[in-house]
Amino acid sequence: MANWTELLELPVYQLNKADKKALFSTELFKLSQHHYQSCLAYRRIIDAVEPRFFFKENQPPIALAANIFKHHFLSSVEQQNIAKITTSSGTTSAQVSKIALDKENIARQQRVLTKIIKQWLGKKRLPMLIIDHPNVIKDKRSYSARGVGIQGLSLFGYHHTYALNEDMSINEDAITEFFSRYQNEKVFIFGFTFMVWQYFVKALQNLARSYPFKQGILLHSGGWKKLQQQAVSNDIFKQQTKQVLGNIHIHNFYGMVEQTGTVYVECEQGHLHCPVWSDIQIINVANMQELPKGERGVIQVNSLLPTSYPGHAIITEDIGILLGEDDCQCGRKGKYFSVLGRIEQAQVRGCSDTQN
């Protein structure tokens, strides 16, 4: 198994293509071996799909479709070692993804997330405004994707303030208090994209209210489907959000509950960046071949984190495009890409779409 003490010390965005490939091919292969040995269901899949998979060293992993976690409970650890099961939101479908996590895997997700987010927020904890209502993290036994996101990011903040009431109305008193206290300091604002737009930006516009923070960072995530339906682009989102929150930095990030921890944060150029511990490929689903830069395809995410469930290589339900590798103008190394939307007819499953 991987030496995580060493892996965690790697710089988040500095490995070039050759170095990353060398690291990834061996570590992902080790993970394939681990899950093959530890998860019977995974072994059956590999045996059925590619019986000669392990004949050759460092084969790229066979990716599982994301929705397999909706229909099968795949675990690579003993039942009694499962510490938490995280679920996707599953709005339109009764089926939710269930991800089995042991303590080691949970800790690793948190550590990796911390390394990545520090790159954007800095090392110090900041006053934190959460664009959600506090009850979203009340159910301790089983977190929704929204709960996981808020939980995972809350340690970057202090004086956590929830901007919404349980009925999704604006909690003006709470926001006003937060603003009067921290308007001149660097603040951290977090929310799911659709919630930020619908229940915060739009709501504040309707109330003709704004809170022009002097400095701060808004991180948001969770799918654009509902915003695309309203013809809201990333540019419009940024522009109108700044109208109510002042001249803050706004970064979208892409990630999924099946690979919690490794998030892909949008840089100043508007590009999503792979951190050192995960990677993406754009796949032509007609033949499952990898597509070159600039071509639309389905996003496959590969991550070194999953050890307690076989989720190290997953075909998502998202369409994306690889924009380049190692040469983004922001200076970060690694692949950078855009997410264009959901696969047609894919069930709505995005984190932010859980509120109807």
The residue ranges that bind other proteins (CB under 8 A) are 83, 103, 106-107, 110-111, 114, 118, 123, 125, 137, 140, 151, 154-156, 158, 160
Measured at the CA of 18, the angle between CA 14 and CA 22, to 5 degrees, comes to: 100
CB of 158: closest distance to other proteins in angstroms? 7
Q: Which is nearer to other proteins, 71 or 118 (CB)?
A: 118
CB of 295: closest distance to other proteins in angstroms? 39
Question: Please, are residues 96 and 114 in contact by the beta-carbon 8 Å criterion?
Answer: no
SS3 260: coil
CB of 134: closest distance to other proteins in angstroms? 11
Measured at the CA of 103, the angle between CA 20 and CA 313, to 5 degrees, comes to: 35
Q: Which is nearer to other proteins, 114 or 165 (CB)?
A: 114
Token duo for residue 73: 């409970």
CB of 227: closest distance to other proteins in angstroms? 29
CB of 154: closest distance to other proteins in angstroms? 5
Cβ-proximal residues to 122 (8 Å cutoff; 6+ apart), any chain: 186
Q: Which is nearer to other proteins, 162 or 337 (CB)?
A: 162
Report the Cα 87 to chain-centroid distance in Å. Answer: 14
Q: Which is nearer to other proteins, 35 or 115 (CB)?
A: 115
CB of 107: closest distance to other proteins in angstroms? 8
Q: Which is nearer to other proteins, 111 or 296 (CB)?
A: 111
SS3 291: coil
Q: Which is nearer to other proteins, 54 or 158 (CB)?
A: 158
Q: Which is nearer to other proteins, 29 or 178 (CB)?
A: 178
CB of 204: closest distance to other proteins in angstroms? 27
Burial 328-355 (b: 16+ CB within 10 A, else e): beeebbbbbbbbeebeeebebbbbbbbb
SS3 349: coil
296-303 and 313-325 strand pairing: antiparallel
Token duo for residue 17: 């293509």
Distance CA(109)–CA(106), nearest Å, equals 5
